[in-house]
């Protein structure tokens, strides 16, 4: 397999990191992937090993317990994991982007010193509760409310599809809630930290999902859940706006995950085509298969360039919203297209869950939906072109 697009333009430290995580993925994660998918169980011992490797602390400065790296470093790790197991990759992505990053970016000194050490070491996970049955991309439809009463926020409402929200090491979830009305009469949306074990906060049973079986995902319910007023994360009324910035970064990380999935499908399809004999000929000798694999290769190359460009912009402090949307769009479609083509190369074996391409086929669809659907990415890109309607 050519690796020029993986290493070209990377520093020696970045190449070393990518190689280290790739080896960890092949040697530790991959052998457990089928079992974890079949049992729909997140292997917390692997999460702990990821913490020991410093993966959860990659984009954070050393003075808060991080590794002193950047977002590109995080995305390299996520891509390497996404090759073999999307559930493990999304656990890292959400643990950093949605769990720790909001606390680091918007938290008080007390919140950061209390919560970040365990999150960045992989000893704890956290979720971010934005999506509701009637709200997600449409923040104005948020129904969860929080009111101040005797120095506490009293929270009522429900969230759905919340990653890392119900594991044995989940410490808290940050939820968006309507805390009042703006001067224009719209909803004032704030973010509030809700620790696990808070009375009135219930984590529902895990979902029976099409894919990402080993990723921890639950609905959440809040019925008079009370937390201290100091649990407000960031300024009051800035919860959704702050989350949008986090979401832009997260789209780069999801793009890296999708690129890894697309590459995993390509690698598996190439190996299978070279080994499989049909009517006395190697499957790889047929030009139709060669061209199919060539298109798969082109998708991986393009997707990687897209997310890497967006990550470099982010790390340089440059605007990256449009580039993140492009990366998410291109890579999500690359993962889905490569999963479909790889399954076709595998034939009947591609329909068996013990083969990674089958799991990628199920897993990859969410990459066109989560952290902003394909249509949302097109909307962001359209607006960047000056198109309104």
List, by residue number, the catalytic residues: 371
- Tell the residue number behind the tokens 């982010």, with chain if given: 314
Phi, psi of 122 (to 5 degrees): 75, 10
Strands (E), 21-151: 125-129, 145-149
259 Cβ partners below 8 Å, 6+ apart? 79, 82, 300, 303, 304, 307, 331, 334, 335
Q: CB neighbours (10 Å) of residue 234?
A: 21
**292 neighbors 341 (Cβ within 8 angstroms):** yes
315 Cβ partners below 8 Å, 6+ apart? 70, 71, 72
Q: Which tokens go with 43?
A: 């292997």
How many Cα atoms occupy the beta-carbon half-sphere of 160 within 13 Å? Answer: 10
> Helices 30-39 and 86-94 meet at what angle, rounded to 10?
90
Which of 229, 280, 243, 266 has the alpha carbon at shortest distance from 341? 266
Between CA 6 and CA 30 the distance in angstroms is 20
**175 neighbors 144 (Cβ within 8 angstroms):** yes
Between CA 95 and CA 98 the distance in angstroms is 6
Which of 232, 259, 78 has the alpha carbon at shortest distance from 155? 232
Helix (H) or strand (E) holding 111, with range, is helix 109-120
Helix (H, G, I), strand (E, B) or coil at 199: coil
- Tell the residue number behind the tokens 């990402």, with chain if given: 212
Between CA 98 and CA 214 the distance in angstroms is 18
């Amino acid at each position: 397999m050519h690796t020029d697009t993986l290493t070209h333009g990377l520093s020696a430290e970045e190449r070393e990191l990518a190689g280290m995580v790739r080896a960890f993925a092949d040697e530790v994660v991959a052998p457990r992937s089928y079992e974890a998918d079949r049992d729909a169980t997140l292997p917390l011992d692997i999460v702990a090993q990821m913490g020991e490797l410093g993966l959860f602390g990659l984009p954070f400065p050393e003075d808060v317990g991080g590794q002193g790296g950047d977002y590109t470093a995080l995305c390299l790790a996520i891509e390497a994991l996404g090759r073999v197991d999307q559930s493990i990759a999304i656990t890292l992505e959400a643990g950093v982007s949605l769990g720790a990053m909001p606390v680091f970016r918007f938290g008080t000194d007390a919140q950061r010193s209390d919560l970040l050490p365990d999150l960045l070491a992989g000893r704890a996970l956290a979720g971010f509760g934005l999506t509701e049955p009637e709200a997600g991309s449409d923040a104005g439809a948020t129904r969860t409310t929080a009111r101040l009463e005797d120095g506490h926020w009293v929270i009522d409402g429900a969230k759905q599809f919340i990653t890392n929200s119900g594991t044995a090491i989940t410490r808290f979830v940050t939820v968006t809630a309507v805390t009042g009305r703006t001067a224009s009469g719209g909803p004032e949306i704030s973010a509030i930290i809700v620790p696990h074990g808070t009375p009135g906060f219930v984590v529902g049973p895990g979902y029976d999902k099409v894919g990402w079986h080993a990723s921890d995902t639950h609905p959440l319910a809040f019925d008079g859940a009370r937390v201290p007023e100091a649990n407000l994360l960031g300024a009051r009324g800035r919860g959704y706006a702050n989350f949008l910035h986090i979401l832009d970064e997260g789209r780069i990380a999801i793009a890296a995950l999708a690129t890894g999935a697309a590459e995993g499908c390509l690698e598996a399809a190439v190996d299978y085509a070279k080994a499989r004999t049909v009517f006395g000929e190697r499957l790889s000798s047929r030009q139709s298969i060669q061209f199919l694999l060539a298109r798969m290769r082109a998708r991986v190359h393009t997707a990687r360039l897209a997310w890497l460009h967006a990550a470099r912009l982010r790390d340089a402090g440059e605007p990256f919203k449009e580039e993140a949307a492009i990366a998410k769009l291109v890579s999500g479609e690359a993962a889905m297209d490569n999963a479909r083509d790889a399954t076709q190369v595998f034939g009947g074996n591609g329909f068996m869950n013990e083969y990674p391409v089958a799991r990628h086929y199920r897993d990859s669809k969410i990459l066109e939906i989560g952290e902003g659907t394909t249509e949302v990415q097109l909307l962001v890109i359209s607006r960047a072109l000056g198109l309104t309607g």
